[in-house]
Amino acid sequence: MTPTPPAGQLAALDASLGVVPAAGDRRRHPAPAHLVFFHGPMDCGKSTLALQVDHNQSRQGRHGLLLTQGDRSGTPQISSRVGLQRAAIELNADTDVRLLVRDRWAAGHRVDYLIVDEAQFLTGEQAEQLAELVDESHVDVYAFGLTTDFRTRLFPGTQRLFELADDVQRVQVEVLCWCGLPGLLNARVVGDAVVREGATVVVADTAPALQPAAAESAAEAAAVRYQVLCRRHFSRGQLGPAPTGPGQLALR
């Protein structure tokens, strides 16, 4: 029989952690690690939050590793529109995040937590590696990513993190549709039209840095932009009154 913790303790754990470890586990690991996933549309402030979490953690004397993906600047970093930025390690689809952390340990560095930006681009396998780091190595993981792609479908990394994370939080939306409603969906726009089909394009978090997939030609890439819309205006394909009238912007 597993001893049952007092009800009050359970409730407190529930509230603070989102998970309730077995009593024996708690004794072995007094501070269980967590996988927390923050998600939202473009421009909702995810990267700012990522840097804030990193700041809060490092102030407590903890050592973190910042990871990102899809950064082609040559100097990978997590940057936010409010001007904060920090150097980060660039992941690709083949990176084993567990090995990355173990290599740091082998080199004598502490890694208490990971900040993973652009987590929508993780493979399912990498999301599972993050969960393993939490459970087996007691590394806290804070992942930040877009919820859905331009087809309104969950990104693969996002989906797996939804399935595995101890705590999933929608980032307080700071970005509004042109109509004033909260912007929830990332519309791909070519010319004046919302596009809902096509290759999944690599989306950076900030509009000026949008990075189309290598498969697309430079001309196509130049024509693609992204705009956050409410669900209704996404469905209608209406991009707002400027620079041309909404009537001209309908998809069909």
Footprint of Zn ion on this chain (CB under 5 A)?
Answer: 177, 179, 181, 230, 233
Which residue type is seen at 199?
Answer: A
Nearer to Zn ion, 127 or 177 (CB): 177
Q: Is 132 one of the catalytic residues?
A: no
Nearer to Zn ion, 119 or 230 (CB): 230
Nearer to Zn ion, 224 or 230 (CB): 230
Instruction: Please give the Cα distance from 167 to 24 (Å, whole number).
Output: 22
Nearer to Zn ion, 27 or 252 (CB): 252
Of 117, 141, 118, nearest to 129 by C-alpha is: 141
From first CA to last CA, the distance across the chain in angstroms is 63
Instruction: Please give the Cα distance from 141 to 128 (Å, whole number).
Output: 12
205-211: long-range contacts, CB 8 A cutoff, minimum separation 24? 205/42, 205/43, 205/46, 205/47, 205/117, 205/118, 205/146, 206/42, 206/43, 206/79, 206/81, 207/42, 207/43, 211/70, 211/72
Q: Min. distance of Cβ 58 from Zn ion in angstroms?
A: 39
Q: Min. distance of Cβ 241 from Zn ion in angstroms?
A: 11
Instruction: Please give the Cα distance from 126 to 247 (Å, whole number).
Output: 44
Nearer to Zn ion, 142 or 226 (CB): 226
Q: Min. distance of Cβ 81 from Zn ion in angstroms?
A: 21
Q: Min. distance of Cβ 238 from Zn ion in angstroms?
A: 7
Q: Min. distance of Cβ 246 from Zn ion in angstroms?
A: 10
Cα–chain-centroid distance for residue 160? 12
- The DSSP bridge pattern shows strands 140-146 and 64-69 to be unpaired
Query: Taking every pair of C-alpha atoms in the chain, what is the biggest distance, in angstroms?
Result: 69
Out of 118, 125, 136, 197, which one is annotated catalytic? 118
Active site residues: 118
